[in-house]
Amino acid sequence: MSSFSRREFLHGVSGLLLLPLLRAEQPDVILFNGKIWTVDENQPLAQAVAVSAGRLVAVGSDHDVVAYAGGNTRRFDLSGKIVLPGFIDAHSHPLESGRAHLRMVACDLPTIAQVVAAVKARAAKTPPGQWVQGFLYDDSKTEHPITREELDAAAPDHPSIIYHRGGHIAFVNSLALKAAGVDEATPDPEGGRYEHGPSRRLTGRVADKAVEGIKRLIPLQSIPDEDRDALKLIQKMVTSKGITSVGDASASPMDLHAYQNAHSAGELSMRVYCIMIVDSLDRMLAAGIRTGLGDEWVRVGGIKQFADGSISERTARLSQPYVGMPDYYGLFLSSEEELYENSKKAYGAGWQLCTHANGDVAIDRVLKVYERVQREIPGREPRNRIEHCTLINDALVRRMRTLNVTPVPFSGYVYYHGEKMHYYGAERLTHMFAMRSFLDAGLRPTDSSDYTASPLEPMMWLQSQVTRKDKQGNAWGTNQRITLEEAIRCGTINGAYASFEENVKGSIEPGKVADLIVLGRDPFHEDPAALSTIPVEGTMVGGKWVYES
């Protein structure tokens, strides 16, 4: 990890970069006396920045930038603190997660007894027969996966469903199975699974398309101002961790409308790239909408499809069985032909393709589709994405490079989900969350949380990528370690590139939006194993402080 003295830092602060308009206008804000890592190759380091109308207009030394201050310019002394560009969470589910925080029981608890007690308490406040829902549960972080019988005891008079934080599996009680018409003789749906125990009794664990079948039974609630409240809640969480832009990776037209309403009302404090769920494609096409519509606050992104399942929930489709699970390879969620037909329709109409694929055989399937589509519809810079893109090999990476595919990996999984890595094994982990392989191939991987799948914590992402160690200190796939500088670039400018916005955000340079964060400690002088403990002291979006510790 790089380490710089104050003398070396000051030596690295090169000449002043500014926009011509600054010579005629006073800046609104000047931040000075900082150690600013710009992620701008032309000027990597600075001490001060000037902001006008939400954009950066000058970046350079204290002496040069402060000289432009006028009588109405607000000045902020950074007291030598480290400043970085705001982080970009390229793939998460902010509005859906905000709604879940308002509607459901939070089950990110360390014991089954605590989860049962939380569900029981919610059931006591819910009329009999109505659904009780929980979220944020993780079956590998309690002493055993919660069982159907335990949920029956917690909510005997209510159908109950507890969603895994990864979003691909859930745990249900007997009343939920009965409502869905599912019993021991019910076949698994295509792309889904009802888990059976040794005696063939249903355990209550359901996966992917089986979850969707049960979710459809839950009446939709219309709650006044819910989206507004959900956005307020999730924005506070996001900005407090130094995230200034998000990719909503399964946005519906209703979600897009909610973001636009918040923007119009002046209530949006993060930027949103809406990756629209494929179910909405025909409606979008009929309205003449395509990738890029919008502005620097709310923009229509790509089209989201699913090739396979989840890494954290062990439903990703692999070429070799999961460790300790003979003959189980995970799930495909779409056929190659389904992916192709939707991709060709979308790509031909000007859409970016953003396809979820975790396992190596699923990634191969997506690349076959992209190869066909880009060959049949040439002549544009695609920047098609593979969401998660977890288990790779050299041949897959070479094909990605040929197609200019952007990988959007999980950033904090080695650290946060370390207890699950044994399902994949040490050898396979050398090819998972493969940031080193992507960068060495000339690709531009991003950072992402997939929240709720993992926490909204960029400093955790950096620690996970730099150390490749879990919470217990176990190392997984150390060949994929990257440097701190590389990790910061992935979480900033690469995230902007993935949404065609590298000229708008992702670095601290004149002309770009004034999105930046102030850290409580210097990550370049920190033990790499403690990066996740560095606090965010301030987050600025569009020249306004949206979070201050």
Check which CATH number belongs to the domain holding 261 and give it.
3.20.20.140
- Give me the half-sphere count of Cα atoms (radius 13 Å) on the Cβ side of residue 334: 22
CATH number at residue 179: 3.10.310.70
* Predicted pLDDT of residue 545: 98
Tell whether 149 and 238 lie within a shared domain: no
Tell whether 148 and 232 lie within a shared domain: no
* Predicted pLDDT of residue 220: 83
Residue at which a domain ends, from 505, 524, 539: 505
Q: Hey, CA dihedral for 373, 294, 516, 262, is it positive or negative?
A: negative
Tell whether 457 and 336 lie within a shared domain: yes
Is residue 91 within 8 A of residue 386, CB to CB? The reply is no
DSSP for residue 535: P
Tell whether 424 and 444 lie within a shared domain: yes
Tell whether 239 and 353 lie within a shared domain: yes
DSSP for residue 513: B
Tell whether 460 and 411 lie within a shared domain: yes
Q: Which of 421, 22, 460 is nearest to 243 (CA)?
A: 460
Beta partners for residue 285, in sequence order: none
Interacting residues of 75 by C-beta distance below 8 A, sequence separation 6+: 29, 30, 32, 66, 69
Domain that residue 170 falls in: 96-215
The whole-angstrom separation of Cα 468 and Cα 480 is 8
Tell whether 391 and 416 lie within a shared domain: yes
Residue 70 lies in a domain: no
* Predicted pLDDT of residue 12: 52
* Predicted pLDDT of residue 221: 76
Tell whether 126 and 251 lie within a shared domain: no
Residue 193 lies in a domain: yes
10-residue averages of pLDDT along the chain (549 residues)? 48 60 78 98 97 97 95 97 98 97 97 98 97 98 97 98 97 98 96 95 97 94 87 98 98 96 97 98 97 98 98 97 96 98 98 98 98 95 96 98 98 97 97 98 98 98 98 97 98 98 98 98 98 98 97
Residue 41 lies in a domain: no
Residue 3 lies in a domain: no
E strand or H helix at 164, and its extent? strand 160-164
pTM (two decimals): 0.95
The whole-angstrom separation of Cα 285 and Cα 270 is 27
DSSP for residue 193: E
Tell whether 307 and 370 lie within a shared domain: yes
Residue 342 lies in a domain: yes
Tell whether 100 and 151 lie within a shared domain: yes
Tell whether 152 and 232 lie within a shared domain: no
- Tell the residue number behind the tokens 């879990």, with chain if given: 470
Residue 351 lies in a domain: yes
Tell whether 377 and 494 lie within a shared domain: yes
Residue 499 lies in a domain: yes
Residue 522 lies in a domain: no
* Predicted pLDDT of residue 13: 57
Domains identified in the chain, total number: 2
Residue at which a domain ends, from 196, 215, 234: 215
* Predicted pLDDT of residue 16: 73
Residue at which a domain ends, from 215, 249, 270: 215
Secondary structure of 257-324 in the HEC alphabet?
A: HHHHHHHHCCCCCCEEEEEEEHHHHHHHHHCCCCCCCECCCEEEEEEEEECECCCCCCCCCCCCCCCC
